[in-house]
Structure 1
């Protein structure tokens, strides 16, 4: 095979170069796998806190009306207002939300 490379004037990549590329790719992939859970966990941890969220309503398809029996008031991320019918906040969605609203981040509140 070396003779073929000499005859054509082309050089073949060395095994160490290929190994180096493989190890670099594996390192980048590993870093991504390590970082991704931390990013997701921070979002989940923030959703479990009782502080208003920062995700735009449009990004989660927020609407002021329920979707079936799914409402903000029975979602685990809902922070109630001063009265049951008053607007509250959400640990995920930015701004005030209606207790009768809904968004794609809805998750049933634990009983």
Structure 2
């Protein structure tokens, strides 16, 4: 005797299309996509100029950054300046002869 078990449900192996993707092919395609994306992101970070670690994130406009000293105060003499051309506070390339509102003279 057969019991009535309701409508027939197909399992995961049944009803597959003939174009099933193998695990190996899926991983190859996925890894290729990751590599291309990573290379593109890395390329956009390259400016040609070395920037010190710990460089800041505040936009130059908010810091009122200028490429020239202000009353003798300059980035090269500031506690936040990172050799060769970065700042702990201000984002981007910084000139040692520049100035911004976050200037703090180095202790003598």
TM-score normalised according to structure 1 size: 0.49
In terms of fraction of residues, the more helix-rich structure is 1
Computing the radius of gyration over CA atoms, which structure comes out larger, 1 or 2? Answer: 2
Q: TM-score, normalised by structure 2?
A: 0.50
